[in-house]
Amino acid sequence: MKNQLLLLFLIISYLTNAQTVNVTFQVDMKNESFSADSVMMIASWNEWTPMMMTANGDKFSISATLTIGTEHQYKFINGLNDWETVTDASCTAPGNDNRLLIVPETDTTLPLVCYGECNTCISWYAPQVSIRAIQGEGDITPYLDQDIKTEGLLRLLIKTVFTFRTLLI
């Protein structure tokens, strides 16, 4: 009986003294319309109660103290009614679109992710290209109803898109 009580005491002591770490979550809102006072995170460890995130421009962060080894689900939200949808299963819990975290053994700052994505935000832009770069040297003034050769621009844009995609692999 004494051994059982001692074992029970040790188990309770272990569970109540579980080690915790600080985990910092970050989200990039650069591709979203947002108000700095409305970007929040909700999570399973606090029964999905919205937690206000700290703004730094269009990047937001929040820290939580969590028990090592526990598994939690969470989402970023933009206002109270816009919960992010993450379609990439590489960072979500099986069977839903909640983000998934297994708490590491040390204090951690998770990588900055784009709202609704598993990776960082990509800035898509069309490079500025002059007509001379498209047409080449010579007379670059188009006449009325003259077609302008755009093949060079198309190749440049395809190369740019291909370059962005190869960086993600």
What is the per-residue pLDDT across 71-123, written as a single tens digit (0 to 9) for each? 999 999 998 888 999 999 999 999 999 999 999 999 999 999 999 999 999 86
Per cent of the chain over pLDDT 70 is 62
Domains and CATH numbers, the chain: 2-114 (2.60.40.10), 131-168 (no CATH)
What is the per-residue pLDDT across 35-55, written as a single tens digit (0 to 9) for each? 878 999 999 999 999 999 999
Q: Which range (14-23, 68-77, 133-142) has the least confidence?
A: 133-142
Give the model's pLDDT for residue 134: 61
Both structure tokens of 120: 């960082």
First and final C-alpha spacing in the chain: 60
Give the model's pLDDT for residue 113: 97
Give the model's pLDDT for residue 111: 96
Give the model's pLDDT for residue 161: 47
